[in-house]
Every structure is written in C-alpha cells, then in structure tokens.
Amino acid sequence: MKVFKAGAAAAVAAVLALTATACGGSSDKASSDGGASAGAKKDKIVIGIKFDQPGLGLKTPDGKYSGFDVDVATYVAKELGYQPDQIEFKQAVSAERENLIANGDVKLVVATYTINDKRKAKVDFAGPYFLAHQDLLVRADDTSITKAEDLNKKKLCSVAGSTSAQNVKTKLAPEADLKENPGYSECLTGLENKAVDALTTDNSILAGYAAQEKNKGKFKLAGLNLSNEPYGIGLKKGDKDLQTKVNAALKKMVDDGSWQKAVDANLGPAGYKAEPAPQITEGS
Ligand code: GLU
C-alpha cells in the first residue's frame, strides 16, 4: 500500500511537472515567433521536408535525414537560434505543403517548393534559394520521348499538387495520360515495370533517382528545360519578421560558401549541374 501511495505521488508530481512545462511555453508546435524573440524558450522548430527525394530531402531507414534541403533547413534553423537537435523534421508531401503551414503544423517548409502566385495566395515564401527546371525521366532504352509533345498519348506519372503535373495538364502535353500519385516512389516503380512511360518533375529530383544505386542503368533524363522552378522556403502568410530573418539566413549561407558546399555534397554525386544561387526577391 505504501509502495502504491509513493507511486501515485510520483505520478501526480510528474503530471504537475508536465503542466508546468506546458505553461512555461514548451510546446510540440512550432513556437509562434520562430524562437527568434529575445528570451523566448527555444525548444524546437518543426520543419517540413520531403522524405523520399535522394540528394534533396531523404529520410533513411536508420531515421536520419539528408539532402540539400535538409542542409538549408539546418542552416536557417541555426540562424533562428535552433541547434540541429532542436529540429523536428516532418514529412511535407507536395499537395499538403500549404495546409501544413496554414495550420501551424510546421514553421517552415523546405521541400523543393516552387514559388508561384497560386501558392502565394495561401503562404509566403523566403528566397528563392535554388533554381531547378522541369524535365522527364524515361527508361534508359527509350527513344520515343525526346520532347514534351511526345508525351501526348503516352502514360505519364507525376505527383499530385506539384507544378509539374499542372504544367503538363495546362500546356506541355494536355493529351498525355497523366497519373498523379501522392509521392514519387510509385512513379518510379511504374516506370520500371512499364505501367508508365515517363516521370516528370524537377531535374534536381530526377537526377537523384537516376543516380540511386538500385536504379543505376535503368533510367535517363531527357535533358529538357520545360520550366523554371525557383525554390522558396514556405512560411505563414503575413509573417514578415520570419520572412526577413529567413532571407537573411539564406543570403549568409550563400555568402559564407556553405550553400555551394551543400550543393556539391548533395547534388554532385548524381552529376547534377546546379544553376548559381538565385537573387533573393521575396518580400522586397
Ligand atoms: N518544385 C515543384 C513543386 O513545388 C515540383 C517538385 C515537388 O513536387 O516538390 O511543385
């Protein structure tokens, strides 16, 4: 009985301690000021990334994160006052990015996220910090697809909520038989087993897939430049303060050489030739 009582007391103490922590401003959600206000308790920052894009945003089976977007996110978080162990990465699939930001589920989205007016109606961006281009991935032995018009009547795969899917439907190849998946892995499987003839998205993403050990020799990029895809860091609409701070962090990352290092380390192995760092234009 005595033991039980002691246990119960400990449980109550634990609950009280938890409540006290909660009142002290510790929270699972991203703190409302990005942790940047003086004296704020900087517990953690939640950042949305891709989990399935080698070289950009990848969650490995051992639970680690790697890629250029992960490095950018880590650098920016540090400038906002968060060490790497204070970052919680959350998966941000293409179609969910605006919602995650608007709902406050993430503070930032660093996920091959193209800046465009449609998205800017719902969120704000910092950046751009990278310029990619839409391209096609086809089977290595395919000679029938060399330009966008060739996709008409072909089976094409893309990801729902991506600019690439939209571009195909509205201008590149409106007659393509387009299949939209939530993520990219389904498209890769489809391409390999001939359920689809091509996969379209940013060349930066496609280069990462083509270079993966398990895909070696199976696929090739068409080498087309079908659009400009300037990547921005998504944040809550109207949060000027955060936008200014993230822009400053991105500029510093380019100026001190960390940006180029991250590009070389993450995209170099796939043989991807990156464009130079773009001028930051958001918020100005
Ligand atoms: N950058 C494009 C976009 O933001 C395609 C890649 C993606 O889906 O993340 O829609």
Residue 18 lies in a domain: no
Residue 35 lies in a domain: no
Residue 32 lies in a domain: no
- DSSP of 114-176, one letter per residue? B--HHHHTTEEEEEEEEEEEEEEEEETT--S-SSGGGGTTSEEEEETT-HHHHHIIIII-TTS
Residue 281 lies in a domain: no
Side chain identity at 250, as an amino acid letter?
L
DSSP single-letter state for residue 95: G
pLDDT value at position 284?
Answer: 85
Of all atoms in ligand 1, which is nearest to the CA of residue 114? 4
pLDDT value at position 20?
Answer: 39
Alpha-carbon distance 60 to 244, whole Å?
A: 32
pLDDT value at position 35?
Answer: 44
Residue 23 lies in a domain: no
Q: What would the mean pLDDT of 31-42 be, rounded to a whole number?
A: 49
Q: Is the pLDDT score of 29 beyond 70?
A: no
How many structural domains are present in the chain? 2
- Residue 160 neighbours by CB distance under 10 Å: 14
Side chain identity at 80, as an amino acid letter?
L
Residues 239, 109 within the same domain: yes
What pTM does this model have?
A: 0.85
pLDDT band (50, 70, 90) for residue 147:
very high
Q: What would the mean pLDDT of 193-205 be, rounded to a whole number?
A: 97
Residues 250, 120 within the same domain: yes
Residues 189, 236 within the same domain: no
Of all atoms in ligand 1, which is nearest to the CA of residue 162? 10
Alpha-carbon distance 139 to 37, whole Å?
A: 51
Alpha-carbon distance 139 to 135, whole Å?
A: 14
Ligand 1, atom 5: closest residue by C-alpha: 162
pLDDT value at position 59?
Answer: 97
Residues 214, 152 within the same domain: yes
Residues 199, 149 within the same domain: yes
Q: What is the CATH number of the domain that holds 205?
A: 3.40.190.10
Residues 163, 48 within the same domain: no
Q: For the segment 228-238, what is each residue's pLDDT rounded down to a tens digit? A: 999 999 999 99
Q: Find the domain containing 148 and state its range.
A: 133-221
Ligand 1, atom 9: closest residue by C-alpha: 112
Residues 182, 51 within the same domain: no
Residues 126, 243 within the same domain: yes
Residues 118, 51 within the same domain: yes
What phi and psi values does residue 261 have, to the nearest 5 degrees?
Answer: -60, -45
CA of 24 relative to ligand 1 center, distance in Å: 38
Residues 152, 201 within the same domain: yes
